[in-house]
Amino acid sequence: MVSSSDRAKRALVTLIRYLAGVYGVTLDITRDCRDDALRKAYKKLLLKVHPDKGGQAEDQKKLNIAHDDWVEAVKGKPGRGRGATTLRHTLLGPEVAQQRQTLLLGRPPWGARGPDPRRGHADTGLA
């Protein structure tokens, strides 16, 4: 079973490797790399991705969200791992949590179909 910190680290490494290819930055990291090497790669890429340095704001947001999730998972913040999405909905509100999830995945958390009407979401009119 993969821990929440490993899952967050893999997501961050995947995003860093993708953005490094887009921005032409040479980084030698894997999902098994040490945490200090990952931090160094994050900082190096952040210099290229930053909007003031010619990068895209959307890419910077994605990178910062993935980094924040990894840091919180490593620190063992409450609510990480199982039920983290529910905690985000509770603390941030459903709209902010959905925007955050959409930035990371490129789609809403429930896909193109919308929320499941059987669960009684407020916007479906079911109780």
Each residue's pLDDT tens digit, 8-43? 899 899 999 999 999 999 998 988 899 999 999 999
Contact 68, 84 (CB under 8 A): no
Mean predicted confidence (pLDDT) in 117-122: 55
Buried b (16+ CB within 10 A) or exposed e, 51-90: eeeebeeebbbbbebbbebbbbbbeeeeebeeebeebbbe
Higher pLDDT, 34 or 124: 34
pLDDT at 106: 64
